[in-house]
């Protein structure tokens, strides 16, 4: 259970949380002023949802510690600093409002009441919930389900902008390829004009896969593995258990944090069940993870082996050159 819930605070995550805190703290404008929103745009399985959930959890705890769990003396209105909704396929305006109302357990979501309510009434009820419960942060995950090429997608995007501008809450979006899907871009006419508003109002942050391109990126990858080592609870664990397998683990996971965590979690589970109590290459070799990582594994391993051979050849050549120079007889002074 411990290994299944390891939460790593990498440098990328710390940088994003710092930016998010700046945006949230500075969004104190009145309701008639335009407020900034934040969006995390990154490829799949890099930890977007984990980042926004953890940031929301920490902010919730901070606000509760400052203002308490209730907003009135009769304890009728609960303090809910963070609202979290996850979009599903082909979201509509009504569906968006129903998800927000569902988070607050609003009576409109019960029975057939919502069917008789007009869209503007649902929007007003959702906005009132945000204001009534003193919600300061609204997290909208899986924003990539919005299709900006459809009428519903454009209407939902416009509704999100209206909510973000109208009420005292900062919106935090998370999704895959938001720029490519037209959710963040420049435009002047038609649908593009609606999209262009986000170009100036959203601060887009990104999570990038790890790489071994240079000394800096290799150090970051090694630091990640070291921190992961410190989080493991195995009887025969040793220092360097993962760091020594740096290139191998990169080849297995292509630098994807989601793939890496799956490999480590499954390896730790097997090590405990079998009594091995240690992680090594022999154990990892027998564990399969996601198909994307497995497909690229062979190509990356071959590439790394070639790089290692090239480096060995260069070191050998350099050593031979130095030996030849030391063997040359000294020339007599002129």
pLDDT of residue 188: 44
Instruction: Write out the two tokens for 191.
Output: 């649908």
Q: β-strands 137-141, 82-86: how paired? A: parallel
Of 6, 55, 5, 45, the closest CA to residue 230 belongs to 6
Q: Residue-wise pLDDT tens for the chain (334 aa)?
A: 999 888 888 888 899 999 999 999 888 766 566 778 898 988 887 888 889 999 999 999 999 999 999 999 999 999 999 999 998 877 888 888 889 999 999 887 776 555 666 667 888 888 899 999 999 999 999 888 877 667 777 778 777 777 777 777 899 999 888 877 766 655 444 555 555 565 567 888 988 888 888 888 899 999 999 999 999 999 999 999 999 999 999 989 988 888 999 999 999 999 999 999 999 999 999 999 888 788 877 676 666 666 667 777 777 777 777 766 665 555 555 5
Comparing CA positions, the residue from 208, 243, 240 lying closest to residue 225 is: 243
Burial 75-95 (b: 16+ CB within 10 A, else e): eeeebbbbbbbebeeebbbbe
Q: In what order do the strands lie in the sheet with 170-175?
A: 82-86, 137-141, 170-175, 37-41, 202-206
pLDDT at residue 330 in the model: 59
- If DSSP codes are grouped into helix, strand and coil, which group holds residue 16? helix
Question: Considering only CA atoms, which of 45, 43, 153, 135 is closest in space to residue 90?
Answer: 153
Which residue pairs, CB below 8 angstroms and at least 24 apart, start in 25-30?
27/170
What does R_g of the chain's alpha carbons equal in angstroms? 26
Where helices occur in 134-189 by DSSP H, the ranges are 151-166
3 state SS of 48: helix
* Host H or E run for residue 202: strand 202-206
**CA–CA distances in Å: residue 151 to residues 36, 182, 261:** 24, 13, 39
Other CB atoms within 10 Å distance of the CB of residue 229: 19
């Amino acid at each position: 259970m411990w290994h299944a819930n390891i939460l790593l605070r990498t440098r990328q995550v710390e940088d994003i949380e710092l930016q998010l805190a700046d945006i949230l703290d500075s969004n104190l404008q009145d309701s008639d002023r335009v407020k900034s929103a934040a969006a995390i745009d990154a490829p799949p399985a890099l930890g977007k949802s984990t980042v926004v959930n953890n940031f929301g959890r920490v902010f919730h705890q901070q606000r509760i510690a400052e203002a308490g769990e209730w907003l009135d003396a009769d304890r009728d209105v609960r303090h809910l600093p963070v609202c979290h909704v996850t979009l599903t396929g082909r979201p509509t305006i009504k569906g968006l409002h129903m998800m927000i109302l569902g988070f607050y357990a609003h009576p409109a979501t019960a029975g057939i009441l919502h069917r008789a309510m007009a869209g503007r009434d649902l929007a007003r009820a959702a906005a009132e919930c945000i204001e009534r419960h003193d919600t300061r942060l609204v997290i909208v995950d899986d924003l990539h389900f919005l299709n900006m090429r459809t009428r519903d997608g454009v209407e939902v995007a416009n509704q999100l902008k209206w909510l973000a501008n109208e009420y005292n809450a900062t919106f935090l979006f998370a999704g895959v390829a938001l720029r490519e899907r037209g959710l963040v871009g420049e435009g002047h006419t038609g649908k593009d004009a609606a999209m262009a508003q986000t170009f100036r109002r959203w601060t887009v942050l990104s999570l990038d896969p790890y790489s071994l391109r240079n000394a800096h990126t290799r150090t970051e990858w090694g630091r990640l593995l070291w921190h992961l080592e410190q989080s493991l609870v195995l009887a025969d664990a040793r220092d360097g258990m993962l760091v020594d397998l740096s290139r191998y683990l990169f080849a297995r996971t292509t630098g994807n944090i989601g793939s890496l965590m799956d490999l480590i979690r499954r390896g730790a589970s097997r090590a405990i069940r079998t009594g091995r109590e240690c992680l090594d290459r022999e154990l990892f070799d027998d564990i399969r993870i996601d198909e994307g990582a497995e497909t690229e594994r062979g190509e990356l391993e071959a590439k790394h082996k070639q790089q290692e051979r090239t480096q060995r050849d260069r070191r050998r050549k350099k050593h031979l050159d130095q030996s030849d120079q030391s063997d040359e007889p000294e020339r007599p002074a002129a």
